């Protein structure tokens, strides 16, 4: 026997309001001050997740060099290790060991000679790695100058004007005169003779890029080395090279193993690369390796004991996620050299196919074709630039109609008149998707032809990669 309950005496469940009828989702949520009360987890999940739908689709982002696809297993592994702080080497000794193994694998990938003991570390990306590499150059130069009783107040760094912004930051933050080799029509990265002309006794080093951000091209590391040798013979100046291999550091060893750009080149003192670019890891990991422990000045290394142990560190940050390093290790084990080669070869095949199709369309001229890293830049032909009713900025904007993100930007000093589009091909961008992109590009060219009153747009959103 059961008795009918008095409903008024029953306690109500805590929250029976349907998700999208809750106040947080029916009212405007304050954006710039913290609310007094919190929200239920699923309410706030939906609130943020919905807003993020307005972000571009990362898989259609052909502007970024950074990884936008990884195997699902890695999500599991990274989720399980979100709590690993990379700096807690004593508390997470296995994560530290994994970092050490990655440093070893990368040093060997970059042909560290058998008789040299390379040293290195993970970083948050190539920018931090570049800061560390640049600091070592400055400290070593200063020590040399002091030893010879020479002034130490005017260090300079020689590099192409095409350097990524991290090098401009480095020079500003560490009070170094940046000496930029300008571009000239037909040469869109560092010129060796031009770089030599800028070197003097205050030059802390020359930065040579493997995979220029502007057009994906490799700069001539070996030729720079030979020219610096000659300079030394002539003047006694002994200037080291730092290679910015942000992208190419994880491409050249697989696709162009014969190009000597790494520790096979004697003046290469240090190399940085982004694990999160062609190292194939989601954004959050970079690497730097020095040729030998001796080229790393002792006073840049700090030893902390408050984590237990006595751990040497050379880093800008203290705490940093450890799971990105774990993800890098996953890829090294999962793919091996063969896997990296196949993935990058597939990307390069797509890049070469796309660039040749674009070159055949008519209005475009290739600046590069994707045969260094799988990245290429192209522009409107000079012969049509003032005759058509569109610019590269219009094309970039119109490609957005189906979500494609293809940046348009102008080149730096001496080549400001060149406005280009750039396509970065990486893992996850198939030949089939390339066909879809080409179809859309042709559709837009047809649209411009059918709309003669359209006025060309002279500038676009700023280029910041
Ligand atoms: C040549 C070069 N150097 C450095 C960087 C900075 O790398 P990160 O984004 O890993 O800090 C980039 C990024 O695009 C780059 O292309």
Regarding pTM above 0.85, the answer is yes
Q: What is the pLDDT of residue 227?
A: 98
Cβ of 246 below 6 Å from ligand 1: yes
In the reported structure, the alpha carbon of residue 273 is separated from the centroid of ligand 1 by a whole-number distance in angstroms of 8
- Of 454, 446, 354, 330, give the one whose Cα is nearest residue 404: 354
Helical spans, DSSP H, in 269-312? none
In the reported structure, the alpha carbon of residue 164 is separated from the centroid of ligand 1 by a whole-number distance in angstroms of 6
Q: What is the mean pLDDT of each run of 10 residues along the chain (465 residues)?
A: 84 74 88 92 94 94 96 96 90 92 98 95 97 98 97 97 97 98 94 98 98 97 98 97 98 98 98 98 98 92 75 88 97 98 98 98 97 98 94 97 96 92 97 98 97 86 49
Domain with CATH 3.40.640.10 in the chain: 78-332
Q: What is the pLDDT of residue 23?
A: 85
Q: What is the pLDDT of residue 411?
A: 93
CB 354 within 8 A of CB 442: no
388-412 residues labelled b (16+ CB within 10 A) or e (exposed) = bebbbbbbbbbbeeeebbbbbbbbb
Q: Residue holding tokens 């020219």?
A: 227
In the reported structure, the alpha carbon of residue 246 is separated from the centroid of ligand 1 by a whole-number distance in angstroms of 5
CB 285 within 8 A of CB 327: yes
Q: What is the pLDDT of residue 7?
A: 82
Q: Provide the 3-class DSSP secondary structure of residue 452.
A: coil
CA dihedral for 160, 166, 167, 168, sign (positive or negative): positive
Q: What is the pLDDT of residue 464?
A: 46
Residue 275, both tokens: 């694990």
Q: Residue holding tokens 């008095």?
A: 6
Helical spans, DSSP H, in 110-211? 126-147, 165-173, 192-198
**289-324: pLDDT as tens digits:** 999 999 999 989 988 776 666 778 899 999 999 999
Cβ of 65 below 6 Å from ligand 1: yes
Q: What is the dihedral of CA 444, 446, 447, 453, to 10 degrees?
A: 130
How far, in Å, CA of 151 to CA of 340, rounded?
47
Q: Provide the 3-class DSSP secondary structure of residue 292.
A: coil
Domain with CATH 3.90.1150.160 in the chain: 342-450
CATH 3.30.565.10 fits domain 342-450: no
Residue 192, both tokens: 């060796």
CATH of 78-332, one of 3.10.20.440, 3.40.50.150, 3.40.640.10, 3.40.1380.10: 3.40.640.10
Q: How far is CA 325 from CA 91, 279, 426, in A?
A: 16, 11, 20
In the reported structure, the alpha carbon of residue 251 is separated from the centroid of ligand 1 by a whole-number distance in angstroms of 14
Cβ of 78 below 6 Å from ligand 1: no
How far, in Å, CA of 250 to CA of 262, rounded?
11
């Amino acid at each position: 026997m059961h008795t009918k309950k008095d409903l008024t005496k029953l306690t109500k469940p805590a929250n029976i309001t349907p998700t999208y009828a809750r106040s947080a989702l029916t009212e405007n949520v304050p954006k710039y001050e913290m609310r007094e009360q919190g929200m239920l987890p699923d309410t706030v999940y939906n609130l943020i997740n919905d807003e993020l739908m307005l972000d571009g689709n990362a898989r259609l982002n052909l502007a970024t060099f950074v990884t936008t696809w990884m195997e699902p297993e890695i999500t599991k592994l990274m989720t399980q290790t979100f709590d690993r702080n990379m700096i807690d080497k004593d508390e997470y000794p296995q994560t530290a060991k994994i970092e050490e193994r990655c440093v070893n694998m990368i040093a060997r990938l970059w042909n560290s000679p058998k008789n040299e003991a390379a040293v290195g570390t993970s970083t948050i990306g190539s920018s931090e790695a570049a800061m560390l590499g640049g600091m070592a150059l400055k400290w070593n130069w200063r020590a040399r100058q002091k030893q010879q009783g020479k002034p130490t107040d005017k260090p300079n760094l020689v590099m192409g004007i095409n350097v990524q912004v991290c090098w401009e930051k480095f020079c500003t933050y560490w009070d170094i005169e940046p000496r930029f080799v300008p571009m000239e029509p037909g040469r869109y990265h560092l010129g060796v003779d031009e770089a030599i002309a800028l070197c003097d006794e205050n030059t802390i080093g020359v930065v040579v890029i493997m995979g220029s951000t502007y057009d994906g091209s490799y700069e001539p590391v070996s030729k720079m080395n030979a020219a610096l040798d000659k300079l030394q013979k002539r003047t006694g100046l002994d200037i080291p090279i730092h290679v910015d291999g942000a992208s190419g550091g994880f491409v050249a060893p697989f696709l162009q193993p014969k190009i000597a750009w790494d520790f096979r080149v004697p003046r290469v003192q240090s190399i940085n690369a982004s694990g999160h670019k062609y190292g194939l890891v989601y954004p959050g990991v970079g690497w730097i390796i020095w040729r030998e422990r001796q080229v790393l000045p002792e006073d840049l290394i700090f030893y902390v004991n408050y984590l237990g142990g006595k751990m040497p560190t050379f880093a800008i940050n203290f705490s940093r996620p450890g799971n990105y390093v774990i993800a890098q290790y996953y890829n090294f084990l999962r793919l091996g050299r063969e896997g990296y080669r196949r993935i990058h070869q597939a990307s390069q095949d797509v890049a070469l196919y796309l660039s040749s199709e674009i070159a055949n369309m008519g209005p475009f001229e290739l600046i590069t074709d994707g045969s260094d890293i799988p990245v290429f830049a192209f522009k409107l032909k000079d012969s049509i630039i003032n005759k058509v009713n569109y610019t590269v900025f219009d094309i970039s904007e119109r490609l957005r109609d189906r979500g494609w993100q293809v940046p348009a930007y102008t080149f730096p000093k001496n080549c400001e008149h060149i406005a280009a589009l750039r396509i970065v091909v990486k893992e996850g961008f198939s030949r089939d998707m390339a066909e879809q992109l080409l179809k859309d590009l042709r559709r837009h060219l047809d649209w411009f032809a059918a709309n003669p009153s359209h006025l060309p747009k002279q500038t676009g959103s700023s280029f910041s990669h």
